[in-house]
Amino acid sequence: MPAKDDNDPDTLYNALAVFSPEGIVGAYHKMHLPAPEPNWATRGDSPFILETEWGPFGIAICYDNYCFPELMRYYVSKGCRLSVNSTALAHCHGPYLGSPTLESAVVQNGIYIASANLGGLDVENYFWGGSSIIGPGQKHAWSYYYYAGRKFTDEDAPECEMFTSTIDLSLSSRYAFKFNPDVNGTDWRPDKYIEMLKDTMSSPDYGK
C-alpha cells in the first residue's frame, strides 16, 4: 500500500502496515523496487523486525524476498524464525520466481515463511494467488514443507481463502547463523561479506 513519509508528504513508499494484538506497531517501507514501482515510490532504507511473545519476526515485501536474500538472512541472524512475505506476484512474472525461491529460502536459512499473495484478475494483471505457510520439513533434513496453503502455480491457487497453521518454531534451526565450534564462529561470515561488498562498491565497474 502507498504510505507517505512522516516528514515529507511528497515522498511515497510501497509500505506494509504491521499490527500486533494491541494495534498498529509501525510500517515497513519496501527496500527493493522493481519496475514500474520507482515511478511512484521511493526505496525504504530500513528493515523491520516485529517483536512478539514467540520471538522476533522479519517483515518483507515481494521483490525483497525473491531477488535479495540479504534481507532475510539479516532477519535470521537477528534471531527471526519466521519471515512475512507480503507479495503481488502475477503471471507476467513467470512461474519460477515465487514458490522455488521461497522453498529455497526455507532450506538455506532454516526458517518459516508466511506468504500472502494477490489472486485473480486486477485491471490488467492476473495474479497467481498461492498464499502459504512454508517451513522446515520434519521427515528429512534440508527440506521444506507446506504447513498451509498452496504453491503459486497450483490449479486452485487463485481461490481466496484464509490459511492458518500451528507450527513448531523449534524446527527453525537457523543452523548457519549459530556458533559452530568446528570453525570457531558461525558458518555465515558477515565480516568477510562486508569486505567483499566494500570491494565491489569501490570497483569502477560497480553498477555497470
- Write the pLDDT tens digit of every residue in 15-72: 999 999 999 999 999 999 999 999 999 999 999 999 999 999 999 999 999 999 999 9
At residue 140, the pLDDT reads 87
At residue 141, the pLDDT reads 82
Beta partners for residue 135, in sequence order: 145
At residue 123, the pLDDT reads 87
DSSP per residue, 18-73: EEETTEEEEEEEPS---TTGGGT-------EEEEETTEEEEEEETHHHHH-HHHHH
Nearest to 158 by CA among 125, 113, 114: 125
Q: Taking the model in full, what pTM does it have? A: 0.95
Instruction: Indicate the residue type of 3.
Output: A
- The superfamily in CATH containing domain 2-173 is Carbon-nitrogen hydrolase (3.60.110.10)
Q: Mean pLDDT of successive 10-residue segments in the chain (208 residues)? A: 95 97 96 98 99 98 98 98 98 96 98 97 93 95 95 94 96 96 98 98 96
Contact 72, 47 (CB under 8 A): no
Q: Where are the domains of the chain?
A: 2-173
At residue 117, the pLDDT reads 97
Residue written as cell 512454508?
134
